[in-house]
Every structure is written in C-alpha cells, then in structure tokens.
Structure 1
Amino acid sequence: MSKKLSWVLTDTAKRVYVENCTLGATALGMDKDGAWTITKSRLRGGLSDGVDIIEVNNGQLSFTIVPTRGMGLWRGSCGGHAIGWNSPARDLVNPGFINTLEQGGLGWLKGFNECIVRCGLNSNGAPGMDTVLDNNGNPSEVMLTLHGNIANIPAKYVEVEVIPGTPTELVITGVVEESRCFCPQYRMVCRYSTFVGSNKVSIRDEVSNFADCPTEFQMLYHCNFGEPFLEEGAKIVLPAAEVAPRDPRAQEDIDTWDSYRGYEPGYVEQGYYLDVAADAQGRTLSMLKNRASTLGVVIRWDKSQLPSFCQWKHTTGASEGYVTGMEPSINMPNLKSFERQKGRVLTLQPGQTYAIDLAMEIAGDAKAVAAVEAEVAAIMAGRKTTVQQQPVAKWSPCAN
C-alpha cells in the first residue's frame, strides 16, 4: 500500500462528525514496520462531558490530542515513562464549564492540565486591562484574561492521515478559529506528525488573519512536565545566552535558576526570562533531565519563529501540581500593553499566515541525554550564560 489514507472526523461546514473511530496497522494491513493505533472517542460525565480526544500510539510513543480544547496535547507515554504532569485539574475540562473572567481573569486555570497548551492568539500573558478600538472606533478598555482564548476553542475541522512509507507517518490535522464580530479573526491550522516507532512528535501551526484589516498576534507554547523528568536535582539544559528573574520572587533563587527542588507544599511559582541561542539555521532546543541524567524530555523550535522563552517553576506539593514549564514564544508572558511597548506584539496583515514549527522528543537513556547536552554545548560554542541578578527592564514590568 503506497497511497495516503485519510479520514475526516469533524467538518462543521459539511456537518460531518464521527464520535468513535479506531484505526490500526493490523486492520489496514500496514503492520510491516510495527504496530500502531489511532483512536478517537468522546468523554462522558463530569467536567469532561462532551470532550473529544484522539489517542495516537506509534508503537513507541503515545500521546492524546484534544480537539475540544484548541488541539492541545494532553499527556502521553514513551518507553513506559509518563509525559505530562498531575494538575489539580484532574480531568479534561469542557470549555463550556470555564469562565475565563473568574478570579480576576484567572479562570483559564480551571482547565489547565495539558502537556502542551497554546496560549494566544490575540493575547497570551498576564491578565489585566488593555485599550482597543470598539465597534464605533472609540478607545475602549477591555479585560484580557490569562493566556488568551485559543486553548478553550473547539476545532471546527479534524482529519486523520496515514501516509505509508519507511516508516509510516501518522498525522492529525485540526482547524481552530478565534473570531467574532468587531474583533480580530484568526484561523489556526495545526498539524501533528509522528513516525511509527519514533520517540518524537512534530507540530506545525499556521496562523492566518482572515480579516480585511491588520490584527495583532501573540503565541506561546506552554510545555509542561512533572515526574519522572522533574524531581529534586533535575535540571533544565538549554543554550541560554542570558537569563533574568521575572520578578522579586524569582530573584530569590536566581543562582539556582537551572535546577529544581523536590516537593514544597505552598511553593510560590517562579519565572525566568531567557534569550536562547540558536544554531546557524536558527534551530534551538531545551531539555528537562532527571537527577541521574538518564532521562530527558526535549522541546525543539525555530528561534526566528519563537524568539522568546520563559522557564516556569512550580515545585509545590504533589497534589498542588508539581511541574515546570518550558515556554518558547513570540513574546514574554507579560501584560499585552507592556509587550506592545517593547515591540514584541506582532501584526498580521490581511491574509497573512505565520508558521511555527515545534517538536517534542524523549531522550530515553544516558546516551541520548548526553547527545542533547552535546548539541547545547555546540550552540553555545564555549560562551557563558549572562545571569542577571535582578529583573531587567527589557523583559519585566517590575524593573521599570
């Protein structure tokens, strides 16, 4: 079999919706390069009622995509190691149960439990007020909620593709639109790709402005990991040219910014802003490795597409969400007005599309971890990281 196979699971324009679907290598006569499965189902009951999930297992790496929640990647597994984190939001939450305006704009946190969640598209930083033109062309104050809206918008189109080859490629494509009258109009086309037997999933997002006027655009990838990668003595490894604390709280531990503690119930989060170096092609990466350097999770991206980076530490108690975030982004996750002032809010022209490439892979043993560390060292080429002891004005509002 050499022809690409495809199945449309959701297409609102054509009123197509498939609630349950199971595809597999054996049933399709494609198991020459290993067993794989793709399963689509709808959850029932509780806050998860009505949430669609697509579970992909390539024989080595498995992961769950959630079309109902902006095509986020919920959790996964590779070589018996769990990928993701244990959020206090235990289950997937249908966006219909979320009011992002709750608790001063922090309602987004009610559904926050994904391994990879997109933050955007009109805004993606801290909650707060911003000034925009209303439908009459007059300046109007509006409340921007934490991390924007895209993670709580269901996909309008979902397709599964199986592309025969050596090895076979498994692809999930989704289309999510963030738009309403008198407001910006975005279309995001997400493509997840993995090859049978691999330890990697690749993501390509294409965000388009389908309005007739220019519109602002922000995007951040909140990539979150707990145990077994995160533990006391774990470290983040990346080609950091410069790092600075986000605020006075992060400043307290700036000398140990790249290492992690064990459980600390009541821990108050810390954030660090970084300038990450890249190779000659603009490619860069970040790895969270365990204490023994025998296991790591790696995020790869193109710095020309995502020039900013935030490291989020939340090493609290086990039931409170013991987690760290590696967050490549277009802008720093500050209030949008501050990011606009610093020139980190992009403008998409009518019809313009912005492409972003991101990947997650698992370094499953000491040799693989060492290979990633060698990549980081090659990018740094002997340079040392500049560590700022206090927040800096170019990145943090509290430094102004």
Structure 2
Amino acid sequence: MGDTLNPLLHYSKNKISNSSQLGGIETSVLDNGPGKGTRIAWVNTGGGLRYKIVLDRGMDIVDAFFNANSLAWISHAGVVHPQPFSNQGIDWLRTFAGGLLTTCGLSHIGGPESDQNGTRGLHGNYSNQTVELISIKQPDLRSGDLSLGMTGLVRETTTFGPQLELKRTISSILGENLIKIHDEINNIGNTPAPHMLLYHINCGYPLIDKGTDIIWKGQWESMDKDPKNKIFNASNNFKKCPDPMDAHAGFGEDVAFIKPHAEANGSAICGFINEKLGLGLSIKFNTLQLPWLINWQHWGKGEYVTALEPATNPPIGQTKARTEATLIELAPGEKRNYDLELKVITEKDDLENLFKINNQ
C-alpha cells in the first residue's frame, strides 16, 4: 500500500476533509489496568503501519502492527505506569513492556551493580521517565507536506550528580512504512557524566515464528563466552528462529555480542524476515554512533521473543566498561546524536536484499 498511496496523495486534497482520514497522530491517556493514567500516542502512517508511542515511558514504542500482523513482542505486564524509583536490582523487569523499542540507559546498561560511583539497577532509569512533549507534527495534505512526528525531552538527573537530557524525535511519512528515531543526548550539568545507551528492539509472533530469519552480519561471541552455549555455538543455525524451548523457561535466555559489519560510512542493517508471511523488518543504524549489536533470544513458552539491540557498549555495566576504558564520559555541554530507522518490508526484491546481509 505504501508504494501506491503516495502518488495518489497529489490528487487527494480536493477529496479529503481531514488528513486523519488517511493517517496521523492521536494522543490519549490509558484509563484502565496497570498503565492507568499513562499518556500514549497512536501513529497511523496510512501505509499499513501503526505504532503506539508511550509518552510517559521515555517516548518508547510498545505496540506495532503492519496490517493484521503484530511486529512487536509484548510482555505479560504490558504498559505499566512509570515507576521512577524501580531502579534497584532487577526491578526494571517488573515494568518492562517489551514492545518494539525499549531504551536502556542513559548512564548504565547491564545487570545491577554497586561500586564507589554508586548503585545501579538493571538497564538504568530511562524507561521509567516521563517526557516533556514539545511538539506534534501532523501531515498537511493541502500543502503537500506528508511528514508527521513528535519531539520531546526526557531528563535523567539528580541534584549534585549527573544531568543527562535526551531530546527525541520520532517521525514517519504518510503512506510509507518507516519509523525514524533521532535522539540527541546532552550533558546539561557542570560535571562529566557517564553515558551508555542500548536500543532494545523486541519482536514477536507472528513476525517471529519457527523459521523466521534473524538478519545480521559481524564478528560475535556469546555473552557467557561458552563455545557450548546452547544457542550461540558453531554447530547451531542461530539465525533461524526455533520452536519454543523448555530450556528457556523462567530466566532461560541466550545472548550474543556482535561487532556488526558496516559500510565505510558506518551504516549497518539488521532485521527479521518471515518468508511465510512475505514480511520483514529492517533496522538501520550507524556503527560510528552505535558500534555494538546485541542479539537476545528467549524462546520460553508464552514468552517467545528475540531482540536486536544497537548499543554504545555491550550490556556489561558501568563498572566493567570503566575498567576496560570503553565507558563514554560526556563533558559538560557535550552532545551525542543517535539515529535509527525501522522499515517494514514486503516487496520480494527488498526481502531478498535484506536476506543477503546474512551472507555478506
């Protein structure tokens, strides 16, 4: 639909009273369940792609659909009202919705830890922070402007401590099945601030099913560095999704740390292809910004999910990153920019080109 809709838009301004007839952004507040009182925004691209931005969870994206097919994995909890003090131990998991995008950071990614610099819970504070929404951009058919998007500010701050601010813009084009995410992270404090960032992109059934191809290319090792890891070992095709596994019940999981293949300009692509559905999702990022890619596989019964996660570091925590001299320290006033593009793919040639990445 995305390939045929846009040419028609040239003729639509005399046939459409309101651009929402084709697509746009609708904001709302959840009024029931554990997410009660949480601000959200539904985005309809008009090309078949619809996704839900949870404004009060750092402008992360939870639900995402292409036509009748869900793209994202949703946890048992689903959307939970933000809990900014759930940053101890593994409390993060209690409010983890999964979803198409959960942002981890901004100063810590990895397991809980304590050292002389403080105590940090699993994957940091970001996803339990609310956004200060500063703009909503709707398409304007009369002028031919088909862009739509939202921009907001999320702050991870503490008095007398690190002061990080993220300015996020999520945008799409009416008639196209593409999500662009641009993040600008700024140290607004007067002392250096540690910085780690990981984009947890979680996909589930029906996009993820037995036989779905996981697309990435690069040098890798399993998180546990065990050559007999049950998933990430030389004799297993770990880029084909299996049936649900008893071995992944509860905390069962397997993870690979990847140094992704990239073009000379740093551009890298990974994603998923479900050949039976003729459906794929590509994830484009830049290794000059995000030099690592993580592949999480968790094939538990009723918790069937895999994630591809571009990141500044593997999820090893501040302490180890500091020891390895890989921890980013943002000077006062220093900024970092990050860009992601998530694209739904349905054309045969485009699916074949995405699949070729596994064999480059």
Instruction: Provide TM-score, normalisation by structure 1.
Output: 0.79
SS of residue paired to 1:322: strand
Q: Which residue of 2 aligns with 1:237?
A: 215
Q: Which residue of 1 aligns with 2:281?
A: 297
TM-aligned CA deviation for residue 230 of structure 1 = 1.2
Which of 215, 218, 240 is equivalent to 2:193?
215
Q: Which residue of 2 aligns with 1:261?
A: 242
Which of 80, 87, 94 is equivalent to 1:110?
94
SS of residue paired to 1:59: coil
SS of residue paired to 1:54: strand
Q: Which residue of 2 aligns with 1:159?
A: 135
Runs (4 or more) in structure 1 with deviation over 6 Å come to none
C-alpha contact 1:299 1:361 (8 A) present in aligned 2: yes
Alignment of 1:130-279 (within 5 A): 130-132=115-117, 142-162=118-138, 164=140, 168-240=146-218, 242-247=219-224, 248=226, 251-253=229-231, 254-255=233-234, 256=236, 257-265=238-246, 267=248, 268-279=252-263
Q: What letter is aligned with 2:298?
A: H
C-alpha contact 2:106 2:125 (8 A) present in aligned 1: yes
Which of 79, 82, 106 is equivalent to 1:95?
82
1:307 to 2:295 alignment: no
| 1:56/1:376 CA distance change after superposition, 3 Å | same
Q: What letter is aligned with 1:276?
A: P
Residues 272-329 of structure 1: CA deviation (Å, up to 9, x unaligned): 01110111221001111225482211111011000011100001112xx210010000
TM-aligned CA deviation for residue 99 of structure 1 = 2.6
Q: Which residue of 2 aligns with 1:37?
A: 24
Which of 312, 324, 327 is equivalent to 1:342?
324
C-alpha contact 1:295 1:363 (8 A) present in aligned 2: yes
Matched positions, count:
335
Residues 165-204 of structure 1: CA deviation (Å, up to 9, x unaligned): 6560001111111101121001100000100111110000
C-alpha contact 1:250 1:272 (8 A) present in aligned 2: no
Q: Within 2, Cα distance between the matches of 1:342 and 1:75?
A: 37
Q: Which residue of 1 aligns with 2:335?
A: 353
TM-aligned CA deviation for residue 143 of structure 1 = 2.1
Which of 53, 57, 61 is equivalent to 1:69?
57
Q: Within 1, Cα distance between the matches of 2:301 and 2:275?
A: 19
SS of residue paired to 1:315: strand
| 1:252/1:226 CA distance change after superposition, 3 Å | same
Q: Within 2, Cα distance between the matches of 1:131 and 1:221?
A: 27
Q: Within 2, Cα distance between the matches of 1:347 and 1:145?
A: 19
| 1:43/1:345 CA distance change after superposition, 3 Å | same
| 1:289/1:323 CA distance change after superposition, 3 Å | same
C-alpha contact 2:24 2:139 (8 A) present in aligned 1: no
Q: What letter is aligned with 1:35?
A: L
Q: What letter is aligned with 2:192?
A: P
Q: Within 2, Cα distance between the matches of 1:130 and 1:249?
A: 31
Q: Within 1, Cα distance between the matches of 2:84 and 2:334?
A: 33
SS of residue paired to 1:285: strand
Identity %: 26
TM-aligned CA deviation for residue 79 of structure 1 = 3.0
C-alpha contact 1:187 1:210 (8 A) present in aligned 2: yes
Q: Within 2, Cα distance between the matches of 1:119 and 1:82?
A: 23
- Answer with 225-234 or 260-269: which moved more: 260-269
